[in-house]
Structure 1
């Protein structure tokens, strides 16, 4: 039966996944406490898409039922949702953005969760869910809580002739963590912005103001204000003069004097001799106690049509801040390297899908995104997912993430390798957390409909409160067969292991799974 369509705009695709899993340690506990079990998984799901016109919708919902052979009291149902919508309610004037998400997340302080590798379970498990998002992580699910979030953002946006384009937006966010030590959070965000037109050319400018207020159910409330003004005066085809001013005000538990009220302003120059190179450099002054004067800027390089590099450096209320985006592709390979940092919290990270980078193959090029739902025309490559596996926390923290990936395709084989380094510095307790890892996979297409995937990886978790940290590694093999365009199945084997200096945190698991995916 073909996917349902309405007025040739809406595409609705129902599906179901059936699997049987055997694990000798599904709770991911120490060997002395491990109990094996057979687990039946039934996951119906539905995806809804609409592109074009004044309404766009991309939504994927799945409901996973887990049935335990040895202990029926553990049988439960878990929900998963990834949705985004856009509507233009009044043409060229009034718009609405909306997002919604439900998934399982590690509880605060929890350190054991499904690695999600090679089809046995976990977000992005190989073969999980035809055309949809990630499966529920079966192993270690007792250490997770179901977290849901939604965001609705109505806004006015209007072009005022050649003067400017203005925008006024309000956003309501709600993050609900059931059975969790982490607070629920309700956030209201306000944004005003304006970008100049060509009325005053060669002078161009932009201005913005953002404010957010967060009410937490079980911890201190927080708020922040950010304002920025930028101007550019074009002197010639190659040179421009620059000016900027910015303001940050933060109010959260553990905020320091510099973070509470930070101001900066600067002047600079821009040089763009060709489409292959451009650079902006600023000399700035700020009210920081240390390093009040600093140089910031960005450089963009496009040495070839297949290579792009952009690097930036500035200073924020929490200190030096950097950005990096590098991509390169050849006929047989793709390369990427990215770095970003920010002042954030678990609720914001969850709503923005931070913590895991999902890999998708789009026309032979590997694209990473924050959503497990592949973009239109792409398919998931779960063996390359970068799963930072960070637990929830009520604290505000600085997050610094460096990630890289490379793929190489030759005839019937595709080799993929990804790596990441994530640092979190918690502002209230002063604790530091560092996680880093390496994940790789080899896909061998033995026939047009059959693929063998060998995947594995290692990762390390380190904490400032003492100890040597935790070491994790995983290895798995999956055989996937596409019976037709709507039906696929796989058989997967996996071993994962954790070594920890904390009592009761070390574990080993061996698992095997058979899965059938059908879409309608």
Structure 2
């Protein structure tokens, strides 16, 4: 009975949030809001893809021709009060090797804002529909061709207030959020509050910087709450060194595993050194208000440097409840070269990266087999067990994540653009640590691409991609699963007429895994024709 009540409460909460979204949509579509300019761009497309290994098998490869009929539409609306953009597709996929896989897939990206007062107070809403991998352990590169995706829907709506003048700047929001998935894993609903304010250029006596946020999420009776608050208030002096007081507090609570229910606030004196007009260094010594003495006092530092309109550096070091914490945002742009680097640490929950190890059967191998390739196929038994040994197999199955995780994300993008050729390098790395167990997963992705404009109506793009996923990388007897994906792809785009476009793509994928059945390669060839209206 209790479980039924919890399920009904979950459905009621989601239903209430959807009603809020519909009510705000009605406000957007009111008569006064519709006096503006509309733009609507529909399209029809057909993509034929041949793959030599649609089931992603190491042995007994199955080829297939996948046909995708795509209906697309982009729409935008702009008026004095209302801004609205939407882009969506509906794809019907047909699989020649197995017609039972035929299905419809949707994508959507929509954003809207409605001004209530002087473009400062706004109602904002966004919605998205994406097709994500059913399980990264099974196939991190899942797409519509392999038919191993699930639909994920994200909705958010709320109020936003932004204002800025010579005296101060204020940015704030209150948002309702909902994540809904086809397989019910990774769902959540809740709300978030954010307030950021700083002094303006006209400040002569006092400077301040206040950043605060609160996030509440719920899923299947589990609750996660994350509160973070940082304040700097100081005096402006005639000198380059200005004193300030720093206050910091963070609290992670709820029924999800790994919470930190006892907030440990800290405060301390600091000095702001303005080395140049656009170069500020903050240094503070922070006393931890903790009666248990589980945490030590610490030093925090921040750098904000903008040497030119094309270069910006923001970096920070502090201590949070999990230990040392770092942040970095760097951007630099010249006439041809653009570089951006970022590093951030966030606390998250209710994602799609938790797995349970389950039995997946057994295979029989000769006693002197040099490797697993000499073993019998899964499910096949030897005629005589003498000289054979049975090796149990396990598999990682995606499960609900009801625990807090620390996510450390590093990203670097570098782009070199010439008149007709562009080189792009994208690197990203994510460490995901489960706070309750200490289990760490690592996700590395690297891509190098070259785009060349051949003529006014055609271009070519070639890229090489390397992805490595390691689940439970610090396990004493080796990671539970380690996968590497190497992809080589080439695409030729051609404009056949003013509203008729085509492309041809050739792609090769090689996957290696410590789980033998996840080692395979696949080759694809795709051709597309799209008509814009």
Q: Same fold (TM over 0.5)?
A: yes
Match of 2:297 in 1: 293
Match of 1:61 in 2: 88
Q: Does 1:513 align with 2:526?
A: yes
1:213-292 matched pairs, under 5 angstroms:
213-217=216-220, 220-236=222-238, 238-252=240-254, 253-255=256-258, 257=260, 260-287=262-289, 292=296
CA shift for structure 1 position 241: 2.1
Q: Is the 8 A contact 1:172 1:189 kept in 2?
A: yes
Match of 1:153 in 2: 158
SS in 2 for 1:331: coil
Query: Which deviates further from its counterpart, 297-306 or 69-78?
Result: 297-306
Match of 1:74 in 2: 101
Structure 1 counterpart of 2:72, from 45, 53, 56: 45
Following the alignment from structure 1 to structure 2, what is the Cα–Cα distance between the partners of residues 311 and 319? 17
Structure 2 counterpart of 1:326, from 327, 330, 337: 330
Q: Is the 8 A contact 2:175 2:193 kept in 1?
A: yes
Following the alignment from structure 2 to structure 1, what is the Cα–Cα distance between the partners of residues 183 and 451? 39
Q: Is the 8 A contact 1:107 1:391 kept in 2?
A: no
Following the alignment from structure 2 to structure 1, what is the Cα–Cα distance between the partners of residues 138 and 117? 48
Q: Is the 8 A contact 1:81 1:101 kept in 2?
A: yes
| Partner deviation per Cα, 1:322-357 (whole Å, 9 max, x = no partner) | 1112222333222222211111135599xxxxxxxx
| Partner deviation per Cα, 1:350-394 (whole Å, 9 max, x = no partner) | xxxxxxxxxxxxxxxxxxxxxxxxxxxxxxxxxxxxxxxx99844
Q: Does 1:21 align with 2:49?
A: yes
Following the alignment from structure 1 to structure 2, what is the Cα–Cα distance between the partners of residues 158 and 411? 40
1:408-447 matched pairs, under 5 angstroms:
408-447=416-455
Match of 1:463 in 2: 471
Query: Which deviates further from its counterpart, 60-69 or 241-250?
Result: 241-250
Query: Which deviates further from its counterpart, 168-177 or 445-454?
Result: 168-177
Q: Is the 8 A contact 1:311 1:323 kept in 2?
A: yes
Following the alignment from structure 2 to structure 1, what is the Cα–Cα distance between the partners of residues 169 and 307? 33
Match of 1:138 in 2: 144
Query: Which deviates further from its counterpart, 425-434 or 6-15?
Result: 6-15
Structure 2 counterpart of 1:474, from 478, 481, 487: 487
Q: Is the 8 A contact 1:452 1:480 kept in 2?
A: yes
Q: Is the 8 A contact 2:413 2:426 kept in 1?
A: yes
Following the alignment from structure 1 to structure 2, what is the Cα–Cα distance between the partners of residues 298 and 58? 37
CA shift for structure 1 position 480: 0.8
Q: Is the 8 A contact 2:264 2:321 kept in 1?
A: yes
**Based on CA coordinates, which of the two structures has the bigger radius of gyration?**
2
Following the alignment from structure 2 to structure 1, what is the Cα–Cα distance between the partners of residues 492 and 418? 19
Shift of the 138–321 alpha-carbon distance from structure 1 to 2, 3 Å rule, reads same
CA shift for structure 1 position 166: 7.0
CA shift for structure 1 position 50: 3.5
CA shift for structure 1 position 462: 1.6
Q: Does 1:184 align with 2:187?
A: yes
Q: Is the 8 A contact 2:404 2:434 kept in 1?
A: yes
Shift of the 113–210 alpha-carbon distance from structure 1 to 2, 3 Å rule, reads closer
| Equivalences, count | 448
SS in 2 for 1:261: coil
Query: Which deviates further from its counterpart, 237-246 or 106-115?
Result: 106-115
Match of 1:316 in 2: 320
CA shift for structure 1 position 158: 7.8
Shift of the 340–245 alpha-carbon distance from structure 1 to 2, 3 Å rule, reads same
Query: Which deviates further from its counterpart, 66-75 or 311-320?
Result: 311-320
Match of 1:204 in 2: 207
Q: Is the 8 A contact 1:26 1:138 kept in 2?
A: no
Where does structure 1 lack aligned partners over 5 or more consecutive residues?
A: 1-5, 116-136, 350-389
Match of 1:403 in 2: 411
Q: Is the 8 A contact 2:101 2:147 kept in 1?
A: no
CA shift for structure 1 position 164: 7.1
CA shift for structure 1 position 106: 2.3
CA shift for structure 1 position 155: 4.9
Shift of the 72–298 alpha-carbon distance from structure 1 to 2, 3 Å rule, reads same
Shift of the 83–150 alpha-carbon distance from structure 1 to 2, 3 Å rule, reads same
Q: Is the 8 A contact 1:83 1:100 kept in 2?
A: yes
Following the alignment from structure 1 to structure 2, what is the Cα–Cα distance between the partners of residues 493 and 166? 50
Q: Is the 8 A contact 2:253 2:259 kept in 1?
A: no
Shift of the 414–197 alpha-carbon distance from structure 1 to 2, 3 Å rule, reads closer
Q: Is the 8 A contact 2:275 2:281 kept in 1?
A: no
**Normalized against structure 1, the TM-score is what?**
0.77
CA RMSD in angstroms, aligned pairs only? 3.1
Shift of the 48–138 alpha-carbon distance from structure 1 to 2, 3 Å rule, reads same
Following the alignment from structure 2 to structure 1, what is the Cα–Cα distance between the partners of residues 274 and 207? 16
Match of 2:347 in 1: 343
Where does structure 2 lack aligned partners over 5 or more consecutive residues?
A: 1-33, 354-397
Q: Is the 8 A contact 1:493 1:511 kept in 2?
A: yes
Match of 2:356 in 1: none
Shift of the 519–187 alpha-carbon distance from structure 1 to 2, 3 Å rule, reads same
Following the alignment from structure 1 to structure 2, what is the Cα–Cα distance between the partners of residues 146 and 105? 6
Following the alignment from structure 1 to structure 2, what is the Cα–Cα distance between the partners of residues 335 and 391? 38
Q: Does 1:306 align with 2:310?
A: yes
**Normalized against structure 2, the TM-score is what?**
0.76
Following the alignment from structure 1 to structure 2, what is the Cα–Cα distance between the partners of residues 410 and 442? 11
Q: Is the 8 A contact 1:198 1:204 kept in 2?
A: no
